[in-house]
A and B are shown apart, each in its own frame.
Chain A
Amino acid sequence: LATPPHKEIDKVNDLDRVLAEDDRLVPSAGFTSRVMDTVTAAATEPPPLPFPWGRFIGVVLACAAWAASGVWLATTPTASAVWSAFAGIDPLPPQVQDLGVPVAVSAVVTIIMVRWRPGRAPMP
């Protein structure tokens, strides 16, 4: 046994020939049926849900309107006059103020219960 690094190598070192003579692989038995099983499963899958552009645009517009109204309230003289008018109103009595949080929580819970109930299909 010897070590001739280039002697044998030079016989196969033509890259074009070595790369061009690369093997062609024959798929294993059952490959076609495996592919068709996967394709059949893919065909019976429900189509992906489309992006809810209508709802998305509605939310964006609502946010923009909310932000614009905030800017308006903070900057315009008319808005300052409105704030001054509010400042002159007597605050609500403490009993009514105490009801504020429970009423708000009840409203949120009611909305959630109306829109979603266990066992019902998810909201579209």
Chain B
Amino acid sequence: MTEAEDPDLADRRRVLDGDLNAFTGIVQRWQGRLVTLAWRFCRDRALAEDMAQDAFVKAFRALPTFRGDAAFSTWLTSIALNSYRSAIRAHDPRPTALTLLTLDTGEPGPLASLVRQERASLVREMVMTLPPRYREPIVLYYFNEQDLATTAALLGLPEGTVKARLHRGREFLRRRLAAAKLVGDAASQGDR
């Protein structure tokens, strides 16, 4: 894709030509993606925005090194991922508070919906407690709408390795959730 067709490449060219404000376009187009990815690694809005901000600054500094070998989105997300790894190392994952909601929600209604949401939220928070080699593939795989090729490209790993880590990671997660009684034995039936 040429600079005329791709707004990211066009903005990159303008930034390199000295128009700093052109970087605003890149930030506006990608801020949701980078903040969301950071959020899925830390589950803390303020920290996620700080992490995304640092990632944008690193991307700005690295703009001259972008050669177009990969898509701009892949390049930008890779920079963000490396930046997030450092930030997450500095902030240990919070111990997930497994406060089980034990209300009887047999009847459909707003309360049942609330309990479901809370349980789903706890499951997602539990992902943060996984070792990084399993946490990163899981976060990136679901962040990229279960696209294995994109996940593998971002991690710089063969697809087979990513697939194996996803499987192991989900097993880890399932065992921990079962131990916390958040997931019944039936959970293992639903895995792909």
Residues of A within 8 A of B (CB): 1-28, 31-32, 34-36, 38-40, 42-43
Contacts and interface: CB of A to CB of B under 8 A. Distances in A.
Contact of B146 (A2, A20, A24): A20
B20 A10 contact: no
A11 B119 CA distance: 10
Nearest to A7: B106
Given A25-B36, A32-B27, A36-B27, 11 more contacts: A1-B103, A4-B102, A5-B100, A6-B186, A15-B183, A18-B120, A21-B120, A32-B31, A35-B52, A40-B20, A43-B20
Interface string B102-128: 111110000010011001100110010
A15 B170 contact: yes
Interface of B: 20-21, 23-24, 27-28, 31-32, 35-36, 39-40, 45, 48-49, 52-53, 56-57, 60-61, 100, 102-106, 112, 115-116, 119-120, 123-124, 127, 138, 142-143, 145-146, 170, 173-174, 177, 181-184, 186-187, 190-192
B162 to A, nearest CB: 15
Contacts of A42: 57, 60-61
A11 B183 CA distance: 10
B61 to A, nearest CB: 7
B64 to A, nearest CB: 12
B116 A16 contact: no
A9 B112 contact: no
A119 B127 CA distance: 56
B123 A27 contact: no
A74 to B, nearest CB: 49
B150 to A, nearest CB: 15
Contacts of A21: 120
16 contacts: A8-B115, A8-B116, A12-B116, A15-B170, A15-B183, A18-B124, A25-B35, A27-B49, A32-B24, A34-B49, A35-B56, A36-B23, A36-B27, A42-B60, A42-B61, A43-B20
